[in-house]
């Protein structure tokens, strides 16, 4: 494999010295970019884009042509695993993802089998290897998956939900059945992410988008326990280099110590947690990723720069910070404002790394 020309993202994940704070954006390949919309129209629809390795590679690289980002993230969707389990994923305009065959009964859940990535999700594995080849060492490639709890919410509800009524009822009424569902999902995530790593992903992120909807005890039992299991089952090294793991629970700021104890290398923060406080709590154990409110990108470049400066100041000097948004960039953002954000991170962070090299 080609040597990395820019490895500051991987170095920061391992809390090693860097020259500036690395930056990437969740959903950096997406609808805010006109070139993405054009490629998506060629593909026909979103899943057509995800399942075509060449087009998935094209949109993965598009933001890197515009901005000096420090990482690329595989273009895919968190719901590829339940789709591969035969649930029939489709997207309804204005309503988000839906499943034709949700799982709610014991018979439906016990029938689920661990996915076979090279058979059921070969298009993702092929996309990873294609992207790595086309990146040619420019920046590292991030692979990802949804967390078992987050995947389960979509699978049981049949799509997006505001209150997770069906999923939480199953969890409280039939906890052993929910554990059975989460276990097959955890095993699937392990083999799926390991296939991505073997194909060339140099770091992986687990998106626990709906973990924050759980009570304190339920989060530990039904979300974090399974992410811990996944981390312990992942390949720790590939191509002679560590493969760092990022755990991101949206709304998980109250559980930072527990997440840091799950074996990950970095914790993703949403915008509701002060990054300086988070560093005081867990910065000796893990790197931190985040955490500007994506809505700030609707403000002027001057205001964006001000917010970047504030977050950098809160984190303070030294490595271990990967700058990101607190969740994904939204479709209404002006691409020039996203560029102002990336430039501000690099320009304003240099002084925090003067003595770390």
In a domain, 237, yes or no: yes
153 in a known ligand binding site: no
Which residues on neighbouring strands pair with residue 237, listed in sequence order? 242
The rounded distance, in Å, linking the Cα atoms of 224 and 247 is 10
Digit-coded pLDDT (tens) for 130-167? 999 999 999 999 999 999 999 999 999 999 999 999 99
In a domain, 262, yes or no: no
Active-site annotation holder among 7, 70, 77, 208 = 77
Active-site annotation holder among 15, 40, 132, 305 = 40
Note if 40 is an active site residue. Answer: yes
Active-site annotation holder among 31, 66, 104, 166 = 31
Give the H/E segment covering residue 145: strand 141-146
327 in a known ligand binding site: yes
For residue 48, what is the domain's CATH number? 3.20.20.210
Q: What is the pLDDT of residue 91?
A: 85
Q: What is the pLDDT of residue 45?
A: 87
Q: Are 245 and 206 in contact (CB under 8 A)?
A: yes
Q: What pTM was computed for the model? A: 0.97
Confidence category of residue 96, pLDDT binned at 50, 70, 90: confident
Task: Please state, as a whole number, how many other Cβ atoms lie within 10 Å of the Cβ of residue 357.
Answer: 8
The rounded distance, in Å, linking the Cα atoms of 37 and 29 is 10
Give the H/E segment covering residue 107: helix 106-110
Task: Please state, as a whole number, how many other Cβ atoms lie within 10 Å of the Cβ of residue 115.
Answer: 23
In a domain, 52, yes or no: yes
In a domain, 339, yes or no: no
Alpha carbons within 13 A on the beta-carbon side of 265 = 23
pLDDT at 61 over 60: yes
29 in a known ligand binding site: yes
Note if 83 is an active site residue. Answer: no
Range of the domain at 114: 29-66+71-250
Q: Are 143 and 169 in contact (CB under 8 A)?
A: no
Tokens 């530990």 identify what position? 220
In a domain, 61, yes or no: yes
In a domain, 354, yes or no: no
Note if 352 is an active site residue. Answer: no
Average pLDDT of the residues in 33-46:
93
Q: What is the pLDDT of residue 1?
A: 59
In a domain, 312, yes or no: no
Tokens found for residue 280? 């005081």
Task: Please state, as a whole number, how many other Cβ atoms lie within 10 Å of the Cβ of residue 89.
Answer: 23
Tokens found for residue 352? 């925090």
270 in a known ligand binding site: no
Q: What is the pLDDT of residue 20?
A: 98
Roughly what angle, to the nearest 10 degrees, separates helices 275-282 and 301-315? 20
Q: Say what percent of the chain tops pLDDT 90.
A: 93
8 in a known ligand binding site: no
Note if 77 is an active site residue. Answer: yes
Lowest mean pLDDT among 33-47, 163-177, 228-242: 33-47
Note if 279 is an active site residue. Answer: no
Q: What is the pLDDT of residue 357?
A: 52
pLDDT at 355 over 90: no
209 in a known ligand binding site: yes
Active-site annotation holder among 27, 132, 279, 305 = 27
In a domain, 35, yes or no: yes
Tokens found for residue 62? 């598009």
**Overall number of domains in the chain:** 1
């Amino acid at each position: 494999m080609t040597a990395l020309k820019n490895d500051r993202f991987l170095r920061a994940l391992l809390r090693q010295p860097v020259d500036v704070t690395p930056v990437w954006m969740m959903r950096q390949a997406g609808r805010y970019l006109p070139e993405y919309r054009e490629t998506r129209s060629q593909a026909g629809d979103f899943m057509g884009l995800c399942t075509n390795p060449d087009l998935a590679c094209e949109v993965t690289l598009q933001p890197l042509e515009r901005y000096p980002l420090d990482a690329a993230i595989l273009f895919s969707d968190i719901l590829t695993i339940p789709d591969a389990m035969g649930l029939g994923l489709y997207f309804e305009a204005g309503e988000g993802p839906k499943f034709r065959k949700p799982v709610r009964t014991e018979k439906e859940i016990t029938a689920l089998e661990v996915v076979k990535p090279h058979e059921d999700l070969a298009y993702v594995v092929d996309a990873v290897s294609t992207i790595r080849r086309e990146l040619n060492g420019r920046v590292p490639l991030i692979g990802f998956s949804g967390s078992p709890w987050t995947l389960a919410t979509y699978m049981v509800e049949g799509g997006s939900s505001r209150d997770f009524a069906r999923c939480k009822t199953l969890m409280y009424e039939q906890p052993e059945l929910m554990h059975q569902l989460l276990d097959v999902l955890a095993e699937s995530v392990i083999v799926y992410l390991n296939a991505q790593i073997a194909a060339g992903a140099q770091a992986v992120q687990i998106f626990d988008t709906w973990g924050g909807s759980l009570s304190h005890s339920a989060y530990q039992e039904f979300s974090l326990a399974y992410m811990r299991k996944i981390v312990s089952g992942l390949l720790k090294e590939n191509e002679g280099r560590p493969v760092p793991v990022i755990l991101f629970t949206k709304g998980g700021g109250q559980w930072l110590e527990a997440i840091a104890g799950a074996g990950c290398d970095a914790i993703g923060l949403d915008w509701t947690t002060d990054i300086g406080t988070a560093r005081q709590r867990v910065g000796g154990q893990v790197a931190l990723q985040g955490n500007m409110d994506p809505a700030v990108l609707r403000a002027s470049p001057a205001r964006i720069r001000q917010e970047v400066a504030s977050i950098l100041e809160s984190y303070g000097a030294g490595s271990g910070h990967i700058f990101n948004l607190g969740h994904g960039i939204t479709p209404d953002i002006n691409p020039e404002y996203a560029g102002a954000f990336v430039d501000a991170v690099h320009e304003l962070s240099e002084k925090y790394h003067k003595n770390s090299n």
